[in-house]
């Protein structure tokens, strides 16, 4: 049942356990959601990815997962409160799902809906 809900979804991963995060990232690489975000330090995610790649049975599936993986997840909005982090994650997910770069509208120079 979970797989049906993942198709086309945006998913964030962070469990404070490298083993669990590796499990979930590997699972998500197999299910191919539209967006995967990993919260946490870049070096931590790169260690997890090295493990996944070394055990990958399907290199193409690994590459497809990497194509939708964003880490560290979130936009640089400033602030480090839980609320600011959540907002930065949701803002990045929304931008990616809408194929946007998430720039400031005041600096766009054209109509908001020009694209």
User: What's the pLDDT tens digit per position in 66-86?
Assistant: 999 999 999 999 999 999 999
User: Domain for residue 77, yes or no?
Assistant: yes
What's this model's pTM, rounded to 2 decimal places? 0.86
Domain of residue 29 covers 2-107
| The pLDDT of residue 3 | 58
The rounded distance, in Å, linking the Cα atoms of 113 and 55 is: 44
Number of other residues whose CB lies within 10 A of the CB of residue 23: 15
The CATH number of residue 101's host domain is: 3.40.50.720
Task: Provide the percentage of residues in the chain whose pLDDT is more than 90.
Answer: 73
User: Domain for residue 113, yes or no?
Assistant: no
Reply yes or no on whether the pLDDT at 53 is more than 90.
yes
How many domains does the chain contain in total?
Answer: 1
User: Domain for residue 115, yes or no?
Assistant: no
**Token couple for 103:** 């720039």
């Amino acid at each position: 049942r979970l797989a049906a809900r993942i198709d086309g979804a945006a998913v964030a991963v962070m469990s404070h356990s490298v083993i669990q995060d590796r499990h979930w990232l590997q699972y998500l690489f197999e299910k191919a959601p539209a967006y995967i975000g990993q919260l946490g330090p870049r070096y931590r995610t790169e260690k997890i990815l090295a493990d996944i790649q070394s055990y990958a049975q399907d290199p193409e599936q690994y590459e497809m997962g990497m194509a939708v993986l964003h880490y560290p997840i979130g936009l640089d909005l400033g602030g480090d409160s839980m609320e600011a982090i959540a907002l930065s994650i949701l803002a990045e997910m929304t931008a990616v799902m809408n194929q946007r770069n998430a720039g400031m509208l005041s600096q766009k120079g054209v109509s908001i809906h020009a694209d």
